[in-house]
Amino acid sequence: MIKAINIIGTTRRAATRGLSFTRVNDLLLGAGFPTPLLVLSRSGVRRNIEQLRRALPAAAIHYAIKANNHPVILEEIAKAGGCFDISSYQELRSAVEAGARAGEMIHSHPIKSPREIADAVGEGVTLFVIDNPSEIEKFIPYAGRVRLMIRFKVDGGSAVVNLSYKFGCSEDEIVPLGIRMRELGIDYHGLAFHVGSQCTKSEVYVKAIKTAARQIRILENLGFTTRLLDIGGGFPVEYTQAVPPIRKFCEPIRNALRRHIDPGIAIACEPGRYISATTTTLVASIIGKSTRSGKNWYFLDDGLYGSFSGRLYDHCQYQTLTNRNTTWKRSVLAGPTCDSFDVIYKDILLPPLDIGDVLLFPAMGAYCSVSASSFNCLRKAEYVVIE
């Protein structure tokens, strides 16, 4: 069962990175901003970049734009000297508009249309990821202009979203892919893996790094020089379950890179969630209430078709914060659409709420607004940017 958290008290207020109910009422709702609102903190972006840099000093940060492509997030990353991991031409354009250079990006989507490749190369992207022979063939027209990395499959059992189900070659396919590149005159540049999204065990990274080290040695004996190892993203953030501080989580990863990877090989990582999730708090209002089968039903002005799309696609449980502190009852929290599927939480402990009451949902900056829709022609949550 999910339980809402009362925000009164400094520890609960810290969970929203300083976005208290008082501030919401005075600065946002009092200024006429209608809910639902996504409140994005610029300083939160900078803080997360710096914390990850301290945790993984050997790795260049390539932010995974798919997590949240809001221009402010991209601008702060570019200003901080970060690079970008892109999966489409439009992500590329968004990063360029934010101040990034196309030549410093990694196009990490293992499957790309010929048009996508042509557009990316035309903008100056040179580094791409592949995981199968058919994909290599698409780069024949660009031999001498591009560099390819081979993505291999890793154990995704410790991640909330297993990305190895869809992408990554097996370990014994790595060398044949490298040989095929050489036959076609296309440059081999390195190896890549992704342990999955919201990974809770750093040991999975360690295992993948050891696999990469073993394959790098095999490739070297065949005349291939590995210049870059991309360890992907997946670094966890705290939702309703506690996770280790990022420096502690990354300690085994740092040690594995130091022990198993030659210092002459560059390291890259692709954080998305870790950079964007905790930068953003959803502010939403109760627009309706009812009692059905002994449960209180509350209807929110945002739901599964909107910002809570992350409940479906990202399998996330988000904190629910309230400023009421009365008797808690089993309740249902539903979204605003006319679809009965639009139920956010079917069994949540909430205090009695009234129409117009506001709830806060921290850490909704990743995989929420990017997959939201305007079903029923309802307005998607708009962003308000704060320092």
- Marked catalytic residue, from 199, 338, 368, 377: 338
Q: Which amino acid is at 238?
A: E
Q: Which of 129, 122, 114, 119 is nearest to 90 (CA)?
A: 119
The two three-digit tokens of residue 225, written as one number = 């020089």
Q: Is there a contact between 91 and 112 (Cβ–Cβ < 8 Å)? A: no
Rounded-to-integer distance, Cα 47 and Cα 59, Å: 17
Q: Is there a contact between 280 and 73 (Cβ–Cβ < 8 Å)? A: no
Residues near 230 by beta carbon (within 8 Å), at least 6 away in sequence: 62, 106, 108, 129, 149, 190, 191, 192, 193, 267, 268, 269, 270
Rounded-to-integer distance, Cα 130 and Cα 190, Å: 11
Question: Phi and psi for 132 in degrees, rounded to 5?
Answer: -160, 160
Rounded-to-integer distance, Cα 290 and Cα 79, Å: 48
| Residue 199 is a catalytic residue | no
Task: Classify 225 as helix, strand or coil.
Answer: coil
Rounded-to-integer distance, Cα 56 and Cα 328, Å: 42
- Using alpha carbons only, give the angle 352, 238, 63 rounded to the nearest 5 degrees: 125
Q: Is there a contact between 387 and 41 (Cβ–Cβ < 8 Å)? A: yes
Question: Phi and psi for 64 in degrees, rounded to 5?
Answer: -80, 100
Q: If DSSP states are collapsed to H, E and C, what string results for 325-367?
A: CCCCEEEEEECCCCCCCCEEEEEEEECCCCCCCEEEECCCCCC
Q: Is there a contact between 40 and 279 (Cβ–Cβ < 8 Å)? A: yes
The residues assigned a catalytic role are 338
